[in-house]
A and B are shown apart, each in its own frame.
Chain A
Amino acid sequence: MGLKVIKKIISGNQAISIGAYKGNARFGSGYPGTPSSEILEHFKNYPNVIAQWAPNEKAGFEAALGASIAGTRSFATMKHVGLNVAADPLMTASYTGVNAGFVVVTADDPGMHSSQNEQDNRRYAKFAKVPLIEPSDPFEAMAFMQYAFVVSEKFDTPVILRSTTRISHSLGVVQFDPRTLDNEQDLKLEKDFRKYVMIPANAILRHKVVLDRLEKLKAFSNETPINKIEKGKTNFGIITSSMAYNYVKELLPDAHVFKVGFSYPMPIEKMREFVNKFDRVVVVEELEPFMEEELKVAGINVEGKKYFPYDGEFNLDIVEEGLKKADLIREETTKVVFNEFELPKRPPALCPGCPHRPIFDILHSLGRNIFITGDIGCYTLGCLPPLSAMHTTVCMGASISMGVGASKVQSEQKVVAVIGDSTFFHTGIQPLIDAYINNANMTVIILDNRITAMTGGQPDPGSGFNLKGESVKPIRIYDLVKSIGIERVYEVDQYDYENTKKFLKEEINKPGLSVIIPTRPCVLAPKKIKETPLVVVPDKCIGCKRCLRIACPAIDFKDNKAIIDEVLCTGCEVCMHVCPIEGAIVKKEEK
């Protein structure tokens, strides 16, 4: 078979899926999370692969580990905070090691484009004593992913491949042979009591294996070609990795650069040699001073974070500012000639017709005596004005559990937890059991739009189909909650605004635990919902702006009257229900 090279422009995430396929991975699992979601969505299209969404990252990680021990190269994908959920198996999978290659892909989000924190997951590699590989563009994402499986098998260890938003969602030109190059047969399932059963007697021995492995990995890090020196003409050197490498190369094309692709364990000896050659060496790394610390602990004299921020996403401007502070750049490469204008911000908003909108409008209107614990999803937008109906958001599933605590220690404020269906399946079920067995006094609202909407509409266990688009029997949340033993469980149609409001008010004011499940589906996925749009009857509109308080992108206000954009309006009628004037907002055909 000859080479069949194609040249395409692909994203970092697509590149990771190609690398996995070419690296002979046949099993991928994970949980959707920006910026990691598209990896499995691409991977599922390859022949003879198993790609599936797990209800959470821990389950996805463990499924992939199980597949590895059963002899198939496997990987799990997640966003940075997802690895917190999967940290439990990670710490011990380091001890068990692998059978077939096993890679954990974490996509970090410096700058928090769509996340609740910007933790630097390179720390996990050191914590778990497993190798860390970091690509800097789509080509490397493909090649390094393939390489990660080799490293995993060679050293009998899970490998972390770390991307960031800017790598996952940047596109670049990649030439590749799309076929799998590695035609190795799958390995046999391995039963090895000493290796895979982590009772203390075995784990004590395995920890020593891990420490021994770490020494071998340290030596390997000095040898691997993905830790490379790019010679320049300067009297200083730069050590960098990931996206930061790209900014350095553009701003300092003549510098000596140590490009790190295998970033844990660090190639300390190779770096010591590099650093000794120059007057000064500066480490340029996004977020944490991970490499700088490792180097300093090894007694290597480098500079780093004293010139660069610890927070936020890097870009050419920020890196240039740091390099100027470090006196490595004298003149700015380009100058800003136009001053920023004062403009109204355009924050994201719930879509027109979004079934979450009436719930937050109702919660807002119920007044100051309710404490609303929120969760992670599109509905987190319910925290923003004018809806302003959420008082906490911490992590997946925390709405219900934080509500349990808040309801136990005080009674002045009624506690309402708001969580979406996918988040409920992810880590909301155990907190609801907590609420039940500990007699929490609260109302749990499970916004069941039957899709993981925020990340682009991936199916969850209630959707009725899976990642491959195959039909599966959906789990009905009502039945699941009932089976716990909770008595007051109700499904409501939230587009029936008045009744929903009346019912919610009653339930929130009753003692004990109740669960309310609004059942309208997402208007975007799996299919777009568009019904007859509404229009404002200008003669009847009194310009009270009540309809503007539901924060619908389809409603604008001009010349003291509301107007509805017919193209955007999906016909949900929520504005019509909140309007105090009968007949001021009507279906288009009735006008």
Chain B
Amino acid sequence: MNDVQSYLIIASILFSLGVFGVITKRNAIAILMGIELILNAANINFIAFNRFGGMERLDGHVFAIFIIVLAAAEAAVALAIIINLFRNIGTVNVDEAQELKG
């Protein structure tokens, strides 16, 4: 595990799983989980490039921490939206949320 490829492969698997989740799931919470996977795939990339890219400072780490914080905030906001969605239409199925459809 001392080369950058293995990390990138793991990250892209994670990313693909995330995208797959986002695209195929109808449940809003499952979509949110897919987004978390995509963000974490990006985190792994940052860390991997920081380590194997010959950098002396901790730029990648800082970025990863930022993204984690960002993901937490995003999850909080998204969950609040989903709760409101549930209150309004009684389900978290995104196909049902189509009042704005022209």
Answer whether A and B are interacting partners.
no
Contact residues of A with B, CB < 8 Å?
Answer: none
Contact residues of B with A, CB < 8 Å?
Answer: none
